[in-house]
Chains A and B, each alone.
Chain A
Amino acid sequence: MKQQALTLLACIMIATSISGFVYAQWTDIITIKNTMQFGRWNDPPNMGFVYPLTCLDNEVTKNVGECYCNYTDYKIDVGTGWDGYNTTVIVINNGYPGYEVQCNFTIKNIGTLPLHINKTVISDPTNALAWDAVLSALVDTDGKPILSITLIPDLACNQLSSGETLEAEIDIHIAQNAEQCQTYNLQVGIIYEET
């Protein structure tokens, strides 16, 4: 009985070794050539505003309100040599309730690492107004909307690989509760990180 088991075991071992040999005979190597470019570990993720940048309003007949926009805080990425700006500045003069400004801007991943936009944070840097996400507006202390702000598309959750651009627009609408002679401020922070 013991001898039979040993024989069976020996047979299994031989069969296994042969099959391995046979398998080895029938295999080959396919070479896939690819180039992988790695980001440099020391480079931070780098996103910036790039041109085109345009600004227009909703006035058709009379030119009463004025809007300007430009980029500031120039920067250049050491790794890629691409440049961009850290800040977009939008100035609205002589605004009135119903006046609306549409600013089309472009953001670009000017660094080497792929990026992910985590979120956008809209606020009033002077804290005179507060952001109301439900109304999508900066509201006064009574909760009345003063500046309605819309970002199209929603920038959060967008992913940009190195060199990729994303065009977006910000719409600023002055609501009926805005007061004469006042100056209102707004800030949109676009927070991103390396993926």
Chain B
Amino acid sequence: MRINKIAPLLMVLTVTLSIVGITYSHWSDTIKINGTVKMAHLKLTIISYKNLTSQEVQEYSNITSELSPDGHTLTLVCDGLQPCWSIWIGLVTQNQGSLPANLKPPEYNFDDPDGFEDYFETAEYFYGPYPENTGFGKLQVWGRVKVSEDGPLKPDGNVTFSTPPNATSPPPFDPIPVDPGEKVVIWIWIHVHTNIPDDAQEKAITMYINIVDDAAI
């Protein structure tokens, strides 16, 4: 008797609830905003490089260089270091990213168990930015460049390019803004002080030159 009373009640409740559900779903709806955000990327790369030195240095020192696959680091291995040893490193960098970048002075790291790092000095000269379609042959500061007392790259660290550099380091130095596709040439002079110990001649030193960029926005 009691079950007979409860059963219809439950049925009524079930039917009511199902109707309410249908009604609700029928009378509500959604409109949407769909967004897609594709992020840019920053990529300043070394696309070409040179290491040049004077004939005198070439006679007593071996220098090998290798560019990392990502084009961010140039590795130099040098031996036979003596007082006044010097080398000029040329880098053609290009902004291959999609964001404007600021080119800053390179960072130098040494793999140097004997602590010769302190006897090095550097100077940087920046030329550009050049438009994307400027070929290597049209870079005035790149083709047929040699180290010579007559220039354009002097062993003492001076340059005689007719095009003045955009900026030099040490400070004051303002980062060079480089738009996507544009190129900048960097000439780096690396020099060994006169007080380097004599035992440096028998050892090799590895130097890493990293280009440094930052978003220019």
Chain A residues near B (Cβ < 8 Å): 44-49, 62, 64-65, 85-98, 103, 105, 107, 118, 125, 147, 170, 172, 174, 178-194
* Residues of B with C-beta under 8 A to A181: 39, 41
Would A184 and B37 be within 8 Å (CB), given that A62-B100, A94-B98, A193-B28 are in contact?
A: yes
Contact A193 B215 (CB under 8 A): no
Q: Can you list 30 A-B contacts (CB < 8 A)? A: A45-B27, A45-B28, A45-B29, A47-B31, A64-B100, A64-B217, A86-B32, A87-B34, A88-B33, A89-B35, A90-B33, A90-B36, A91-B38, A94-B38, A94-B40, A94-B99, A96-B217, A118-B28, A180-B42, A181-B39, A182-B38, A185-B35, A186-B33, A186-B36, A187-B35, A189-B30, A191-B29, A191-B30, A193-B27, A193-B28
CA–CA, A125 and B98, complex, Å? 27
- Tell me whether B2 is interfacial, beta carbon within 8 Å: no
CA–CA, A172 and B39, complex, Å? 13
Q: Which of B29, B37, B217 has a CB less than 8 Å from the CB of A183?
A: B37
Q: Which of B27, B32, B35, B99 has a CB less than 8 Å from the CB of A92?
A: B35
Could you say which of B32, B38, B215 has the most chain A C-beta atoms within 10 Å of its C-beta? B32
* Residues of B with C-beta under 8 A to A93: 38
* Residues of B with C-beta under 8 A to A179: 39
Main secondary structure on chain B at its contact with chain A?
A: strand
Would A187 and B32 be within 8 Å (CB), given that A44-B26, A64-B100, A98-B217 are in contact?
A: yes
Count how many chain B residues have C-beta atoms less than 8 Å from C-beta atoms of the other chain. 23
Q: Which of A87, A88, A192 has a CB less than 8 Å from the CB of B28?
A: A192
Contact B31 A107 (CB under 8 A): yes
Q: Shortest distance in angstroms between B132's beta carbon and chain A's nearest beta carbon?
A: 16
Chain B residues near A (Cβ < 8 Å): 24, 26-42, 98-100, 215, 217
Q: Chain B: which residue is nearest A84 at the CB level?
A: B31
* Residues of B with C-beta under 8 A to A188: 32-33, 35
* Residues of A with C-beta under 8 A to B99: 64, 94, 96
CA–CA, A24 and B29, complex, Å? 52
CA–CA, A189 and B29, complex, Å? 10
A-B contact count (CB 8 A): 125
Q: Chain B: which residue is nearest A181 at the CB level?
A: B41
Q: Shortest distance in angstroms between A74's beta carbon and chain B's nearest beta carbon?
A: 12
Contact A92 B33 (CB under 8 A): no
Q: Which of A86, A95, A180 has a CB less than 8 Å from the CB of B37?
A: A95
Q: Shortest distance in angstroms between B211's beta carbon and chain A's nearest beta carbon?
A: 17
Contact A192 B30 (CB under 8 A): yes
Q: Chain B: which residue is nearest A42 at the CB level?
A: B26
* Residues of A with C-beta under 8 A to B33: 87-90, 103, 105, 170, 186-188, 190
CA–CA, A146 and B176, complex, Å? 29
Contact B29 A174 (CB under 8 A): no
Would A172 and B37 be within 8 Å (CB), given that A94-B99, A180-B42 are in contact?
A: yes
